[in-house]
Structure 1
Amino acid sequence: MPTHRLNPNKLLMSKWTSTSPQQKEKHFLVTQLIRNEADMVVDCIIEAVINRNQYQLPWQNLTSATDWQQGWK
């Protein structure tokens, strides 16, 4: 399974396209990074462009090329 190489510190305001959109939510923007006590990024908040719904997920989920494409496609 192919994966994207990502620097979690550079994810803020990056654009993503879901390869399996739910409720027409296809394009997303990373709006927040959640860090642990060691200042490591553990999760991110992504916001659907179409309706501004927000979801929290581990940033590593974005490395799955089967689920996400970098940029808006």
Structure 2
Amino acid sequence: MNRINPAKLLLSKWTAAQPRHKEKHFLVTEVFCDEEGTVLEIELQAILTRRTERFSWQTLQNVEAWQMGWK
């Protein structure tokens, strides 16, 4: 399990363990919070294609799917 500080997610770099559509490297481009400032979701942007996807931030804790940094 990846240990993540939700407050430091913005502009963090991630590598997909199983790339899809030749997309391996991603950047967190937006963080969505509730009224109290609790992080709910993130937006990941593929570096190669600039395609974006919206996920729950806890998805990044799955070490079988995501690795911290660009590898």
TM-score normalized by the length of structure 2:
0.97
SS in 2 for 1:34: strand
The CA deviation string for residues 13-41 of structure 1, in whole angstroms up to 9 with x for no partner, is 00000001110010000000000122100
1:1-73 paired onto structure 2 within 5 Å: 3-73=1-71
Return the alpha-carbon distance in structure 2 between the equivalents of residues 42 and 56 of structure 1.
11
Question: In the comparison of the two structures, how many residue pairs are matched?
Answer: 71
Cα offset for 1:9?
Answer: 0.7
SS in 1 for 2:53: strand
One-letter amino acid of the structure 2 residue matched with residue 17 of structure 1: T
TM-score normalized by the length of structure 1:
0.94
The CA deviation string for residues 18-71 of structure 1, in whole angstroms up to 9 with x for no partner, is 001110010000000000122100000000000100000000000110000000
One-letter amino acid of the structure 1 residue matched with residue 21 of structure 2: Q
Structure 1 residue runs without a partner (length 5+): none
Moved over 3 A (4+): none
Structure 2 residue runs without a partner (length 5+): none
Aligned-pair identity in percent equals 44
Return the alpha-carbon distance in structure 2 between the equivalents of residues 61 and 10 of structure 1.
15
